[in-house]
Amino acid sequence: MASITIEELRSFHSIDRELYSRLVLNLHRDPFQSMQIIALWICLEQVGYPNIILKMLFLTDDAVNSIADEGVHILNCITSEIPPPISTNINVTPLTLDLMNNQEISLQFLYENRLTALSGIMKIVNEVCFKAFEDILWLALGNAAAVPYPTTVIVPEFGESSSFTRSGLNPPTPKNDIDVPQGERTLFITFSRGYPITEREIRNFFVRSYGDCVEAIYMQDITPNEQPMYAHLVLRSASTIAVILHGKERAQFLINGKNLRVRHHGSE
């Protein structure tokens, strides 16, 4: 079966693209956080909630902005160290609840299942949003110097420290697992011959996708005319590996049109 092209992906997600464009170009919201908000809504739809993205296209920018703020609140709740009070399950997201046809979103349930929820959100961000929204993302980043983003960035990280929010465009720095051997925090990355990937591309991709999770990258030693075929990626926290691999032994990513295959350093 032929793989889907970028144009086909953009066409399939045309409604999502339209809303993303409003969030980042009209409302000047942070483009990376906006991807996570849309991914959250897609995840909720996948588990049976109504599709609110289409409904939002017919709302005013002020209403869209307020609903996006509620999305940020939901993300904050499921990434917080402190579970949400049971009494806040409904009242804190009234606009979202209305679009959901009053189908309750249990923040307590999302918090209790936050690893699964955040893994699903980041999977959609990586496999859908970055690809389908890339052109809009670059437009938004081009405007970043002229229009500061008024929102915060929410970047999932796991481990002993679960502080996921930070003002501005810089994701939070994960707390290092100083008691975990480096080998247990390392991913082995392989590349395709003829499609060289630089250390900078690798670092930018993982930091952009998972926050400031990279401790070090060790590229294959090569002669000047050779292409590196593998690298070792050392993470600050061993628990980030489960997020990147989505619980599987291996994962594959596309960076600037080039394939990158990832597995745990200790696996065969």
* Exposed/middle/buried for residue 144 (C-beta within 10 Å: 0-12, 13-18, 19+): middle
- Distance, CA of 245 to CA of 265 (rounded, Å): 12
User: Who wins on pLDDT, 267 or 200?
Assistant: 200
Q: What is the pLDDT of residue 91?
A: 66
* pLDDT on residue 59: 94
Question: Domains (ranges, CATH) in the chain?
Answer: 6-144 (no CATH), 182-264 (3.30.70.330)
pLDDT at position 205: 84
φ, ψ dihedrals at 189, nearest 5°: -115, 135
Q: Is residue 92 scored above 80 in pLDDT?
A: no
Tokens of 200: 């900078």
pLDDT for res 49: 87
pLDDT, residue 252, reads 82
**Is the four-CA dihedral 35, 172, 248, 198 of positive or negative sign?**
positive
What one-letter code names the amino acid at 24? V
Measured CA to CA, the distance from residue 78 to residue 109 in angstroms comes to: 9
Query: Over pLDDT 70: what percentage of the chain?
Result: 82
Position 88 scores a pLDDT of 47
Q: Quote the pLDDT of residue 105.
A: 80
- Supply the pTM of this predicted model: 0.56
Angle between helices 31-46 and 14-21 (to 10 degrees): 140
Write out pLDDT tens, residues 93-148: 889 989 988 888 888 888 888 888 888 888 888 888 988 998 898 888 776 444 44
Residues 6+ away with beta carbon under 8 Å from 260: 189, 190, 191, 197, 202, 205, 252, 253, 254
pLDDT reported for residue 151: 35
pLDDT tens profile 26-72: 999 988 889 999 999 999 888 888 899 999 999 999 999 999 999 99
Q: With left for phi above 0 and alpha for psi between -120 and 50, is residue 246 left, alpha or beta?
A: left
Provide the 3-class DSSP secondary structure of residue 246: coil
pLDDT in the model for residue 244:
85
CB 207 within 8 A of CB 157: no
pLDDT digits (tens, 9 = 90+) for 155-210: 333 333 233 333 233 334 445 655 678 888 899 999 888 888 899 889 888 887 77
pLDDT of residue 143: 61
